[in-house]
Chain A
Amino acid sequence: GAVVSQHPSWVICKSGTSVKIECRSLDFQATTMFWYRQFPKQSLMLMATSNEGSKATYEQGVEKDKFLINHASLTLSTLTVTSAHPEDSSFYICSALQGRSTGELFFGEGSRLTVL
């Protein structure tokens, strides 16, 4: 299957700093990517839909100024957690849509963010 790469896999940062997480589709072009957040032993919660060349669509309750999403190319979407706080500590997973007609979604390996 297609490969989606996330970087970094693990990141520890101080409270108040910003952290950028990258999501890349390695062998296909993805006009649409999705960002999810997962708390320990819980389900994945959709945060936002990222469309190449346009503004992201955020789910209700997700602060768009807190979680900045940029989808500047067909193979890269980034999530920046701005002014991170301990409550932002979580597992962030991206998924990329391969082919709008088939709707096959491929997931990255996730990024574990710990804010001290």
Chain B
Amino acid sequence: AQSVAQPEDQVNVAEGNPLTVKCTYSVSGNPYLFWYVQYPNRGLQFLLKYITGDNLVKGSYGFEAEFNKSQTSFHLKKPSALVSDSALYFCAVRDGGAGTALIFGKGTTLSVSS
């Protein structure tokens, strides 16, 4: 079965510093990987996805993620964090082919201090 792991429950970073939120995956076949962000009592907002192509994926709000096949990782990054980036971040993998549900990691809370 497909799965993703987010090893950190919380990441703390100062505003203006680079941030990384970690994600590793375990899939059979080609991985379809996603990052979403969730603000309190809200739904999920799509940040970016990797289906195929360049290993560095650029997404919304200045976020990017690097697909690393050898390390089975898909870490989310941003060069300069903002206080408004503080939220809950989920890594996800598609459960199968097109048309299947996403399986989510446990989530990582990002806290950016001013």
Other-chain residue from A42, A100, A101, A106 in contact with B106 (beta carbon distance below 8 A): A42
The residues of A that contact B41 with a CB separation of less than 8 Å are 91, 110, 112
The residues of A that contact B44 with a CB separation of less than 8 Å are 44, 93, 95, 107
Q: Select the residue from A4, A42, A93, A107 with max chain B CB neighbours within 10 A.
A: A107
The residues of A that contact B104 with a CB separation of less than 8 Å are 43-44
Chain B contact patch, size range: 20 to 34
The residues of B that contact A75 with a CB separation of less than 8 Å are none
Whether the pair A93, B43 counts as a contact (CB closer than 8 A) is yes
Count, chain A residues at interface, CB 8 A: 26
Whether the pair A43, B99 counts as a contact (CB closer than 8 A) is no
Q: How far is the CA of A49 from the CA of B96 in the complex (A)?
A: 13
B57 contacts partner chain A, Cβ-Cβ < 8 Å: no
The residues of B that contact A44 with a CB separation of less than 8 Å are 44, 90, 104
Please, which residue of chain B has its CB at the minimum distance from the CB of A109? Answer: B43
